[in-house]
Amino acid sequence: MAGKLTAAHSTGILLVTANVGSLFEDPEHLQKTWLREFYQTVQSHKPHFLAVHCQEVGGKNYEESMSHVDSFVKELLSSDVMREYNRARIYLDENYKSQEHFTALGSFYFIHESLKNIQQFDFKAKKFKKVLGKETCSETLESTSTLEKEKFPQDYFPECKWSRKGFIRTRWAIADCVFDLVNIHLFHDASNLVAWEKSPSVYSGTRQKALGYVLDRITDQRYEKVPSFVFGDFNFRLDSKQVIESLCSTATMQTVRAADTNEVDKLIFRESDNDRKVVLQLEKKLFNYVNQDVFRENNGTSLLEFDKELSVFKDRLHELEISFPPSYPYSEDSSQGKQYMNTRCPAWCDRILMSPSARDLVLKPENEEKSIVYDNIGPNVCMGDHKPVFLSFRITAGAGKPNANKHECCVVQ
């Protein structure tokens, strides 16, 4: 890594969220590219503390992919770029045989050698402990005292009994400041046709319930309330009904029903004139829109008006301005780095959110605006079906000194 890092005046923090399921489906092609782009981001921002929250670790065929996970972790720990990170904590939920607990989440934390005083919270002992050496924990995360892990109750996702959705929480003390880092994976849209039926969709209601559950858990009375960063695959989608009405405002809709069940099988939107050209074809797992450029022009930000799922939590969670294209679903063809798959309407699924007190840490007056970057990784190459998203910022030493409200204070006592 070029140039020495010093943590004397401020500490560089890099938070990354990445749904890595694709990497384990095709490790030969995708993993090298993914790691190269990830390393470039680390080298560019030179964080003292790096947190990487992964979802779908091991991919869909977990039983066959376990060996790929091990080699991925070894590569991260041994690479030249990560050499100066002399402490690490890696938590992998690998116990896929335990259906009632398995979340396929992986949380990776790397600490630069120049960062002298970093501590991690032990939730059982209720005290901080100095972080030394490199440790990887898997299999028994339920009994690991330095994290809290929960899978969502099964009745949250009745359509999907095998759902692996849940969260992992860790707590850290750096530069007189304490904060929680929460790795989260919320439920997806199972059917484009169901998502289109009403606004907001039934799926957005399910995600809202699950996210509310997480926020209640991490701010309950068991531990002191501290700033929190919640980042992962929220599976937030654009409001399907509204975005389709906008994209197909001059089109007429044809409904095609299945012969045997009479259920809606597909919707076809055609131009009223222009030779009745098909604008959009919608099926359970097909979203084939005539012009993908609308999701890429100006980073697709004209569509942010349809990105509404976070607004329910506007008093509890904040986000910096989005200036990157929808993070999902990209083509998994390694030659199609900017192309979306026509399976879902592109959306900003992968996000880095923060509590009001965490936002105050990031946006401290002494933090220069240019030192804060919220963006995606690998915009021009194939990173799998999700582009990783990162937030880079600095914490000034003492930024978390006690203030009037003790519970919002983030200093280690």
Give Cα 293 distance to the centre of its chain.
Answer: 24
Whether the Cβ atoms of residue 91 and residue 168 lie closer than 8 Å to each other: yes
For residue 276, being part of any structural domain is answered with no
What per-residue confidence (pLDDT) applies to 398? 64
Query: Which amino acid makes up residue 308?
Result: K
For residue 339, being part of any structural domain is answered with yes
% residues pLDDT > 90 (the chain)? 77
Q: Whole-number mean pLDDT of the chain?
A: 90
Alpha carbons 362 and 391: distance in angstroms, whole number: 10
Judged against a pLDDT cut of 90, whether residue 27 lies above it is answered with: no
Judged against a pLDDT cut of 70, whether residue 225 lies above it is answered with: yes
- Number of domains into which the chain is organized: 1
Please state the rounded mean pLDDT for residues 76-91.
96
What per-residue confidence (pLDDT) applies to 253? 95
The pTM of this model reads: 0.93
For residue 277, being part of any structural domain is answered with no
Whether the Cβ atoms of residue 23 and residue 59 lie closer than 8 Å to each other: yes
What per-residue confidence (pLDDT) applies to 404? 32
Least confident piece of the model among 108-122, 156-170, 348-362: 156-170
| Residue scoring higher pLDDT (219 or 97) | 219
What does 111-129 look like in DSSP terms, one character per residue? EETT---EEEEETTTTEEE
What per-residue confidence (pLDDT) applies to 403? 41
For residue 267, being part of any structural domain is answered with no
Query: Which amino acid makes up residue 79?
Result: S
What does 260-326 look like in DSSP terms, one character per residue? TT--EEEEEEEESSGGG-EEEEEETTEEEES-GGGGTGGGGGGGGGG--GGGGGTTT-B-PPP-S--
For residue 94, being part of any structural domain is answered with yes
Judged against a pLDDT cut of 80, whether residue 66 lies above it is answered with: no
For residue 254, being part of any structural domain is answered with no
What per-residue confidence (pLDDT) applies to 13? 97
Closest CA to 207 of 235, 181, 228: 235
What per-residue confidence (pLDDT) applies to 176? 85
Judged against a pLDDT cut of 70, whether residue 5 lies above it is answered with: no
What per-residue confidence (pLDDT) applies to 412? 40
For residue 271, being part of any structural domain is answered with no
Please state the rounded mean pLDDT for residues 97-113.
91
Q: Tell me which residue range forms the domain holding 304.
A: 10-237+294-408
Closest CA to 320 of 348, 344, 345: 348
For residue 272, being part of any structural domain is answered with no
What CATH number has the domain bearing residue 116? 3.60.10.10
